Chains A and B, each alone.
Chain A
Amino acid sequence: MLAFILRRLIQSIAVLLVVGVVSFSLFRYVGDPISGMVGQDTPASEREALREKLGLNDSAPVQFLHFIGNAARGQFGLSYRTSEPVNRLILERMPATLELSFCAAVFALFVGVPMGVYSGLYPRHWSSRMFQAVSLIGISLPTFVIGILLILVFAVMLHWLPSFGRGQTSTFGWWTTNFTSWKGIQALILPSITLGLFQLTLIMRLVRSEMLEVMRTDYIKFARARGLSNRAINFGHALKNTLVPVITVTGLQLGSLIAFALVTETVFAWPGVGQLFIQSVQFADIPVMAAYLMLIGLLFVIINLVVDILYFVVDPRLRGQGTRAAGH
């Protein structure tokens, strides 16, 4: 197991290095960092001095090491657009994105898994068929269309929920949260549903097909023969054995939740990191793009690693194989 995790760790570092090279090349070769910092009438000699001072005349490998060193400390320089430090811009907006993604993930899991279990257990029931039809539509509708439709119905027509912004927030240190007031929670509802709906349909379809498969196996028949209660069979034996693929997909989807948050954030004018990234793409604000890329890369690598480790916790069979493979 240790060997497996170690191998994965080395792979993750390799991925991060590649992402680092890409962000560094963005930083270095797309646009001129100097022209973003100085005025138009700055003489060439002064520009050259600044260039020297910032280390832009060093060789590419030296600059790359500097870049990685700074990135590790969270330093990404100044935004071309607002001239604020990139790390502060991102840190300010991080809580909004994390809270939104968290709520969407909770919504997708706690609605998707029961729906999947139910339609897996009773595939011919009319509500299972309805779930299937809804999930097909959920997969075909782009995130932003779902958001617009929800705004149209619940904000414009019914006036039940707000359609943009975070509403009321409170601040704890650098963290701003929506959870302390009813207004803040209301503002979270529509964006979370929008963001989580795709993941919900994915999880539901996966759990359903896994459940259908597991319910046909011999050990479920045996459990019935032993006279175990339906509850013990369905949840203790069947659901538990469907969890490995569910964990993989949910884990990997957690990453795309944060990535797709940028669409949801744009629809609902949610002041998160994704919105910042979109603005930086529109203005070709390279430092912010590079920083976001590194951040997302790190996040995805960590998620993948955690998912891999979770396999061992959930599936004892893998543990045996892992140690045997390591023993040889």
Chain B
Amino acid sequence: MAQGNAFSQWLHRATDSDVWWSFKSSSLTVAAAAVTVLIIAVSFLSPLLAPHTPFDPSTLSLSDGLKPPAWAPDGDWAFPLGTDDQGRDVLSSIMYGTRLSLVVGIASVFVSMLIGITLGLVSGYVGGVTDAVIMRIADVQLTFPAILVALLIDGVVRGLISVQRHDEIALFVIIGAIGLSFWVQYARTIRGSVMVEKNKEYVQAARVIGLSPVLIMVRHVLPNVTGPVLVIATINLGLAVISEATLSFLGVGLPSTQPSLGTLIRLGNELLQSGEWWITLFPSVTLAALVLAVNLLGDWLRDALNPKLR
């Protein structure tokens, strides 16, 4: 009972805030949120919802191969969006593939957040030579587009380990590669905010009572600079999903045994010339819808959390 009360109080506070108001009053944002939630929910429930298990070879039959979508003349309602050349159901592949794309996207955002926040906190709080070194590294990395950095990291890992081993750990390699290529923005933002915050009285007070610098940074400074981090994280989720799809499309991301949306688009692209458009078009549309929805949410969050724009 007490718990229910606390929840309803929290709900009341949340729905009474101006962030909620700005969310409610933008129908585009509500639509984007609905699409995002729908895509996330369907993809994570894919083992329950998907009509077929596309990556279990025993359930596949080559005679089901290259069926067009159900509404086409030779379509089959058992495969609503058609099948690929192996007889895999396109709809089920998309559901599993979206889940993988989201996992990579979210995990790599966390990796870059972790690296960026740590380096930003240290850089802003410690200052001096440490700050200079970290920020110059950031400058150099920022000279190059993130996708190139990710490609390079992937290439180096391929040089260090065997091909077969690489396929086994491809998921972690790609999360690390994308994570490492997006940390700069977090570090710069956090560093800027920390430099402002560290001269405020609460930080000085914490220092006077003898707290360790690590504790001050994590417990006192960090909670005060989370707003901008949240905005960057949302915008970067879209970028991370695109990066993963691009790497997989280029054939250096996830292998075809565990296809993400990008891998599906690459495999379908090879059949595009012969007129089998559905194998590549539907994953492309899913990817575009996901990224567009996440970007709209990011745009809205940036405006809503920035009081200057209101």
Contact = CB atoms under 8 A, between A and B. Distances in A.
B263 to A, nearest CB: 12
A148 B246 CA distance: 12
Contacts, number: 108
The SS class assigned to the A binding surface is helix
B284 A145 contact: yes
B243 to A, nearest CB: 9
A140 B147 contact: no
Nearest to B295: A140
Contact of A142 (B246, B251, B272): B246
B159 A18 contact: no
Nearest to B281: A152
A158 B142 CA distance: 41
Interface in B148-175: 148, 151-152, 154-156, 158-160
**Main secondary structure on B side of the interface with A:** helix
Nearest to B158: A284
Interface string A271-301: 0000001101110101001000100110011
Interface in A22-74: 26, 30-31
A203 interface: no
B230 to A, nearest CB: 20
Interface string B218-244: 000000000000000000001000100
A53 B296 CA distance: 59
A141 B160 CA distance: 33
B39 interface: no
Nearest to A80: B159
A140 B238 contact: yes
B275 interface: yes
A15 interface: yes
B273 A148 contact: no
A278 B250 contact: yes
A256 B145 contact: yes
A180 to B, nearest CB: 27
A281 B139 CA distance: 24
Contact of B148 (A139, A143, A151, A259): A259
A255 B145 contact: yes
Interface in A247-262: 255-256, 259-260, 262
A140 B295 CA distance: 7
A176 interface: no
Interface stretch (B4-12, B17-25, B205-213, B286-294): B286-294
Nearest to B139: A15
B295 A289 contact: no
B193 interface: no
B148 A152 contact: no
Give chain B's interface residue range (CB within 8 Å of chain A).
35 or more
B252 A281 contact: yes
B77 interface: no
B143 A300 contact: yes
B245 A293 contact: no
A325 interface: no
A282 B251 contact: yes
The 9 A-B residue pairs with the shortest CB-CB distance, nearest first, are A281-B155, A284-B159, A140-B292, A30-B159, A284-B158, A259-B145, A145-B284, A256-B145, A140-B291
Interface of A: 14-15, 18-19, 26, 30-31, 136-137, 139-145, 148-149, 151-152, 156, 163, 255-256, 259-260, 262-263, 266-267, 277-278, 280-282, 284, 286, 289, 293, 296-297, 300-301, 304
29 contacts: A30-B160, A136-B295, A140-B288, A140-B295, A141-B291, A142-B242, A142-B287, A142-B291, A144-B245, A144-B246, A145-B265, A148-B265, A148-B280, A148-B281, A148-B284, A149-B281, A156-B277, A259-B144, A262-B250, A263-B147, A267-B269, A278-B252, A280-B155, A281-B151, A281-B154, A282-B252, A284-B158, A284-B159, A293-B152
Interface of B: 136, 139-140, 143-145, 147-148, 151-152, 154-156, 158-160, 238, 242, 245-246, 249-252, 265, 269, 272-273, 275, 277, 280-281, 284, 287-288, 291-292, 295-296
Given A156-B272, A263-B249, 20 more contacts: A136-B296, A137-B292, A143-B246, A144-B245, A144-B249, A145-B284, A148-B269, A152-B281, A156-B277, A256-B145, A259-B145, A259-B147, A278-B250, A280-B155, A281-B151, A281-B154, A281-B155, A282-B252, A297-B143, A304-B143
